[in-house]
Chains A and B, each alone.
Chain A
Amino acid sequence: MAFYVVQFLTGLASAASLFLVASGLSIIFGVTRIVNFAHGAFYMIGAYIAFTLTERLSGAFGFWGSIVLAAIAVALIGVLVEMVLLRRIYHAPELFQLLATFGLTLMVEDLVVLIWGPDDLVGRRAPGFRGAIDFFGQNIPSYDLFLIVLSPVVLGILWLLFQRTRWGVLVRAATQDRDMVAALGVNQKWLFTSVFAVGVFLAALGGALQIPRDAVHHAMDLRIIVEVFVVVVIGGLGSIVGAFVAAVLVSELNAFGILIFPKISIILVFLVMAVVLIVRPWGLFGKPEAPARKTPGLTVNPWRPLTSNERLMALAALVVAATLPLFAGNYALTVGSEIAIFVIFAVSLHFLMSVGGLASFGHAAYFGLGAYGVAFLAKMAGLPMIVCLLLGPLLGCMGAAVFGFFAVQLSGVYFAMLTLAFAQIVWSIAFQWVSVTGGDNGILGVWPERWAASPSHFYWLALGVAALVTVALRAMVFSPFGYALRATRDSLLRTEAIGINAKRIQWTAFVIAGTTAGIGGALFAYLKGSVFPDNLGISLSVDALVMVLLGGVETVSGAVIGAIVYKALNIWLVSQTDLSKLVLGGFIVLIVVVFPKGIVGMLEMLAQRRRKASPPGSPLLAKPIESAE
Chain B
Amino acid sequence: MSVAPPLLAVEGLTKSYGGIHAVRGVSFSLRAGEILALIGPNGAGKSTCFDMLNGQNKPDTGHVRLLDEEITGRKPREIWRLGGGRTFQITATFATMTVRENVQVALISHGKQLFNLFGSAPKFDRGEAGRLLELVGMGGYADRPCGELAYGDLKRLELAVALANQPKLLLMDEPTAGMAPRERVDLMRLTAQIAREKSIGVLFTEHDMDVVFEHADRIIVLNRGTLIAEGTPAEVRGNPQVQAVYLGEGLVYDARHREGASI
Where the two chains meet, the residues of A that have a C-beta atom closer than 8 Å to any C-beta of B are: 294, 297-305, 475-476, 478-484, 486-487, 489-491, 493-501, 505, 508, 554, 625-626
Of B105-113, B177-185, B233-241, the one contacting chain A is: B105-113
Assembly CA distance A298 to B105 (angstroms): 20
Majority-rule SS of B interface residues: loop
Nearest residue in A to B108 (C-beta to C-beta)? A480
Q: Are B94 and A494 in contact (CB under 8 A)?
A: yes
Residues of A within 8 Å of B88, CB to CB, are: 493-494, 497
Docked complex Cα distance between A494 and B145 (Å): 17
When distances are taken between beta carbons in the complex, the residues of chain A under 8 Å from B96 are: 298, 300, 302-303, 486, 489-490, 554
Q: Collect the chain B residues with CB atoms within 8 Å of residue A495's CB.
A: 105
How many angstroms between the C-alpha atoms of A496 and B165 in the bound complex? 14
Q: Do A479 and B86 form a contact, CB below 8 Å, given A302-B97, A498-B161, A499-B80?
A: no
- Complex Cα distance, B96 from A626, in Å, reads 12
Q: Using CB atoms and an 8 Å cutoff, list the residues of chain B in contact with chain A.
A: 54, 75-78, 80-81, 85-86, 88, 92-98, 101, 104-106, 108-110, 113-122, 124, 143-145, 147, 161, 164-165
* Shortest Cβ distance from residue A495 to the other chain B in the assembled complex, whole angstroms: 8
Q: A480-B114, A490-B95 are in contact. List 13 more A-B contacts (CB 8 A).
A: A298-B147, A300-B95, A480-B116, A486-B96, A486-B97, A490-B94, A491-B95, A494-B92, A497-B86, A498-B106, A498-B165, A499-B109, A626-B145
Shortest C-beta distance, B258 to chain A (Å), equals: 43
- The residue of chain B having its C-beta at the shortest distance from the C-beta of A501 within the complex is B77
Task: Assess the B114–A481 pair: CB atoms within 8 A.
Answer: yes
Contacts of B144 in A (CB 8 A): 625
Query: Which of B92, B114, B118, B145 has most A Cβ within 10 Å?
Result: B114
Residues of A within 8 A of B114 (CB): 480-481, 484, 500-501, 505
Contacts of B76 in A (CB 8 A): 496-497
> What would be 12 A-B contacts, judged by CB atoms less than 8 Å apart?
A294-B95, A300-B96, A300-B147, A478-B120, A483-B101, A486-B94, A486-B96, A490-B95, A496-B77, A498-B105, A498-B106, A498-B165
User: Which A residues are in CB contact (< 8 Å) with B81?
Assistant: 499
Chain A residues positioned under 8 Å from B109 (CB to CB): 484, 498-500
Residues in chain A near residue B108, CB distance under 8 A: 480, 483-484
Contact A483 to B86, CB < 8 A, known contacts A300-B145, A494-B92: no
Residues on B with C-beta less than 8 A from A301 are 145
Known contacts A302-B145, A494-B92, A508-B115, A479 near B110 by CB under 8 Å: no
* CA–CA, A351 and B27, complex, Å: 47
Shortest distance in angstroms between B81's beta carbon and chain A's nearest beta carbon? Answer: 5
From residue B139, how far is it (CB to closest CB) to chain A in Å? Answer: 15
A298 to B154, CA, bound (A): 14
Q: Please give, as numbers and ranges, the residues of chain B lying within 8 Å of A487 by CB-CB distance.
A: 94, 97, 105
A-chain residues with CB within 8 Å of residue B145 when the two chains form the complex: 300-302, 626
Determine the chain A residues whose CB is within 8 A of the CB of B105 once the complex forms. 483-484, 487, 495, 498, 500
Q: What's the minimum C-beta distance from B175 to chain A, rounded to whole angstroms?
A: 14
CA distance A301 to B94 in the complex (A): 13
Q: Are A491 and B92 in contact (CB under 8 A)?
A: yes
Q: Which 4 A-B pairs have the closest CB atoms?
A: A490-B94, A494-B92, A298-B147, A499-B80
Alpha-carbon distance between A501 and B109 when the two chains are bound, in angstroms: 10
Task: Report how far A496 CA is from B88 CA in the complex, Å.
Answer: 12
Nearest-Cβ distance from residue A100 to partner chain B, whole angstroms: 23
Among residues of B, the one whose C-beta sits closest to the C-beta of A482 is B121
Q: A493 contacts B92, CB within 8 Å?
A: yes
Given contacts A299-B147, A480-B121, A483-B104, contact A497 B95 (CB under 8 A): no
With both chains docked as a complex, state the minimum distance between the C-beta of A401 and any C-beta of chain B, in angstroms: 15
Q: How far is the CA of A140 from the CA of B149 in the complex (A)?
A: 67
Q: Are A480 and B113 in contact (CB under 8 A)?
A: yes
Once bound together, how far apart are the Cα atoms of A59 and B173, in whole Å? 71
> Which residues of chain A come closer than 8 Å to B75, judged between CB atoms?
496
B229 CB to nearest A CB, Å: 30
Contact in complex: B93, A490 (CB < 8 Å): yes
- CB contacts (< 8 Å) of B122 on chain A: these are 304-305, 478
Flag if A479 contacts B121 (CB, 8 Å).
Answer: yes
Report Cα–Cα, A301/B88, bound state, in Å.
Answer: 25
Q: Chain B contacts of A499 at CB under 8 A? A: 77-78, 80-81, 109-110, 165
Give CA–CA (A305, B120) in the complex, Å: 10
Q: List the A side residues contacting B94 at CB < 8 Å.
A: 486-487, 490-491, 494
Q: How far is the CB of B164 from chain A (nearest CB, A)?
A: 7
Q: A294 CA to B151 CA in the complex, in Å?
A: 14
**Distance (whole angstroms) from the CB of B121 to the closest CB of chain A:** 4
User: With A and B bound together, what is the CA distance between A478 and B88 in angstroms?
Assistant: 27
CA A626 to CA B54, docked complex, whole Å: 37
Give the one of A304, A489, A497, A626 with max B CB within 10 A: A497
Please name all residues of chain B whose beta carbon is closer than 8 Å to the beta carbon of A302 when the two chains form the complex.
Answer: 96-98, 101, 143, 145
